[in-house]
Amino acid sequence: FGSSSKSWSAPAGKSQLGQLDSSMPAARLNAALGAWVRKCRLQNSYDAAVAKRLGLRSVSDCGKRASFILDLQQHDCHAFSDLGQNFVHCGILATAIAGCTTLTASLNDPEERTSVTTDLSVSYMSSARVGQVIRIDTNVLGLGGKLAFMEAHVKHDETDRMIAVGRHTMMFVGESGKATDFVNFPSTFDV
């Protein structure tokens, strides 16, 4: 999975990849990430806290592997951690895993269908703290006509130390070509 880098400065939902050919897997994944960020903000969805700060670092193996970056902030903290520790809540990591693996699976579905989670498991090995940058490396383990099997490794971007490993199984549903066809609708929230 991905490689470590010492810095990250791209704005939320943006890529470090520069100008991309729209037919390339990286350009398609970056466009899907941008659409997901917009949808999350319009819906004021649970995912918005993670989506708006997520950036695409790299795409390889014809789109079957992707690496995302997320900077950890105070509102990501677990309320029960000791004062001064500022440990990131496991739900933030699980949300990042689910979002990143869903985006990578959508890129790899030849019919471009939306998907729903059938199973998500996360094993936590270490902690992460506010102010750190984490990297979420996704990998397609298997892709069939109905299911996608994904894996994600969450690591400290600077040290490459493993924080968590997630496995995500998704079932493809819906019409072909609709995976990133997000409908704009008015929100009742000021986002």
Write down the residue that tokens 């270490």 correspond to. Answer: 126
* HSE-up of residue 113 (Cα within 13 Å, Cβ side): 17
Read off φ and ψ for residue 106, nearest 5 degrees. Answer: -60, -40
What pLDDT, in 10s, does the model give residues 106-125? 889 988 888 899 999 999 99
65 or 181, which is more confident? 65
pTM beyond 0.85: the answer is no
Residue 41 near residue 108 (C-beta atoms within 8 A): no
**For residue 43, pLDDT beyond 90:** no
124 or 83, which is more confident? 124
